[in-house]
Structure 1
């Protein structure tokens, strides 16, 4: 596996920032647990993509629209070139797995009756 120097430098800077954060926190055990929780949330690419979609739009989206956007970012193709089955698979995995985790973490809100995903106020910078 090859990596470019830019991505490697970003990775090193991110790790150093995380370690600095751990060193400055008054409760190191809680900080380590929090950091583990954050890394677990961000470990899955589909969750990262959903967060990125919500950050890009910074407003409520229907879950089907969010699933389309995630599928576009996963494949690098236009939505017209992605099979409906693929978008359905993304939708179902968001609905059953990824979205509940992000809602529980307080990063997103979900209105099941309206099938709307909303970035949390803190996440939107409010």
Structure 2
């Protein structure tokens, strides 16, 4: 489905500013809509979107969503969120046809969405700590601290490289699980 470009947003070819991106992403319903649209590249309609968002928001399956729950989400999307996202160039929303299609601008919002669970630390902080430990290890070997001289220097280097390789592989795995647009509910609901 190909939708015409909205006349409201002449800046669709420009990158979103960080302020615009955070404004759009500041609302949980818009984040959930973005997650759904990222996994439905061919677009969707407002009925399907409102039903799925109602299911996620109420912790229910699609079959359990009541008409009232779906209608509340539908009205909110139709009157507020979809027009706002269309105006920002995040998606194309044709009100008369109720069709919704994500734009390249909308896909670019992915970079702002590092989901960090309550008890987790950001990976950047984890790697900083791992670098600190590695530096301390290298310093201990360099200065000949007795317990660190039991193994050859090359072994310590291999240990450090192995630590970074394993943590990088785990990081890639978890990043894929928390990526917007993957199967299932949005990462913040997992």
TM-score bracket relative to the smaller structure: 0.5 to 0.7
Aligned residue among 59, 64, 71 for 1:88 = 71
Deviations 1:75-112 (A, max 9, x none): 22112212110100000000111111111111110122
The answer for the alignment partner of 1:69 in structure 2 is 52
TM-score by length of 2: 0.45
Mark the structure with the bigger radius of gyration: 2
For the pair 1:103 / 2:86, whether they are aligned, the reply is yes
Deviations 1:39-72 (A, max 9, x none): 1111110000001110011122111111111112
Question: Where in structure 1 are there 5+ consecutive unaligned residues?
Answer: 1-32
TM-score by length of 1: 0.67
Equivalenced residue count is 93
The answer as to whether partners of 2:90 and 2:103 remain within 8 angstroms in 1 is yes
Q: Which structure dedicates a bigger proportion of its chain to helix?
A: 1
The answer for the alignment partner of 1:118 in structure 2 is 101
Runs of 4+ in 1 over 4 A off after TM superposition: none
Distance 1:88 1:98 in 2: 14
The answer for the alignment partner of 2:41 in structure 1 is 58
RMSD, aligned α-carbons: 1.9
* Larger RCO (alpha carbons 8 Å, 6+ apart): 2
The answer for the alignment partner of 2:176 in structure 1 is none
